[in-house]
Structure 1
């Protein structure tokens, strides 16, 4: 690397060969990176906070109930450890309800199983634990940050490609003017 000097901020320095497209690109590149860094971070944090709020509302709005299994379930197989079976439980309003739910295979009728209900007493899936919700919120936040960053980076690439096309077109026009002056002189 001997003999080579670095020139910081070379894109913004005055230069007789600098074109308008060069200046636009000089501002476009850092703008894209700032948007990727700041926008991606904001999108990730907002998405993670929103998802965490949804999971918290699910935990608050669902209650565990003990239901009674109304029929035997088939034995577990290598591919199925749970099976759909009829169950009965008491809703928050005191009414007795029956429905089908996924329960462990190999259980006998009359066995008690733990299920989750919503505010109306209908069966719902178990809410995610705090740890599961944190992990899923983090993954959703990271995915939204990556998605926004990809869109910004892609848009920046498209804009840079357009600037390159304009530069090439200008170089072509200038070559048409300068090329004939050079002629076919070989020395």
Structure 2
């Protein structure tokens, strides 16, 4: 096992007679890649979080709960247990009046065996189309945070990978130069003086 002495911080920027120009270039590439990685990740994550939170807040304001009525008996048989349990639901056809006065129909989940004319609460958008219940403030915050983190990590991956690829190319070029110089000097070491 090779002994590596103590870790030296910022070694790429210290004065050293053995430091090559390629070492300095690589130092700046690494620094630039890290700065762009952090900035891209943070800015993209914050922008995505704000966008999602704004969209979900708009849904909470615009979407309305409307009372709809079943147009026909729901399939299945009604039981006391299914009336209290929210897990046992079937699709039923309902009709509702949009805020602009137009009549709409659609299918929603209802209790099995519900009679025609039974009132059902549904959520609609400003055009009167069926939508899901809007996210609460805490649900919206959690969803926006998760999406922001995913977008931030994805955005940060691009400059990070680009910097790694560029450093890998520079390393290969340095090794090729080393091989060329070694091939030039190796024959000189093989000669005997005497």
Band of TM-score, shorter chain: 0.7 to 0.9
Are the structure 2 counterparts of residues 49 and 32 from structure 1 closer, same or farther at C-alpha, using a change threshold of 3 Å? Answer: same
Take 2:179 and 2:90, find their aligned partners in 1: how far apart are those partners? 71
Mean CA deviation greater in 17-26 or 67-76:
67-76
Are 1:103 and 1:113, in contact at CA under 8 Å, matched by a contact in 2?
no
**Equivalent residue for 1:28?**
29
Does structure 2 retain, via aligned residues, the 8 Å contact 1:69–1:112? yes
The answer to whether the aligner puts 1:102 opposite 2:102 as a matched pair is no
**2:37, 2:158 within 8 Å by CA — same for their partners in 1?**
no
Q: Which of 153, 163, 174 lines up with 1:167 in the alignment?
A: 174
1:126 paired to 2:130:
no
1:8 & 1:93 partners in 2: Cα distance? 68
Structure 1 residue corresponding to 2:143, chosen from 133, 136, 142: 136
Distance in 2 between residues matched to 1:118 and 1:72, nearest whole Å: 26
Q: Name the SS for the 1:160 alignment partner.
A: helix
Q: Find the counterpart in structure 2 of residue 59 from structure 1.
A: 60
Q: TM-score, normalised by structure 2?
A: 0.82
**Alignment RMSD, CA only?**
2.2
Q: How many pairs are equivalent?
A: 180
Kept after mapping to 1: 8 A contact 2:64/2:124:
yes
- 1:44-91 CA-to-partner distances (Å, cap 9, x unmatched) read 111100111111111122111000111222347xxx843332111111
Does the Cα contact within 8 Å between 1:67 and 1:89 map onto a contact in 2?
yes
Candidates 152, 157, 176, aligned match of 1:150: 157
Tell me how far apart the structure 2 counterparts of residues 174 and 62 of structure 1 sit (CA, whole Å): 72
2:79 aligned with 1:72:
no
Q: How far did 1:33 drift?
A: 2.2
In structure 2, stretches of 5+ residues that fail to align are 77-81
Instruction: Return 53-62 or 124-133, whichever deviates more.
Output: 124-133
Q: Counterpart in 2 of 1:111?
A: 118
Q: Unaligned 5+ residue runs, structure 1? A: none
Which sits farther off after the overlay, 132-141 or 16-25?
16-25
Secondary structure of residue in 2 paired with 1:51: helix
CA deviation digits over 1:86-143, x for unaligned, max 9? Answer: 111111122333x222213413322111111122222222222212211110011000
Residues 95 and 103 in structure 2, CA contact (< 8 A), matched pair in contact too: yes
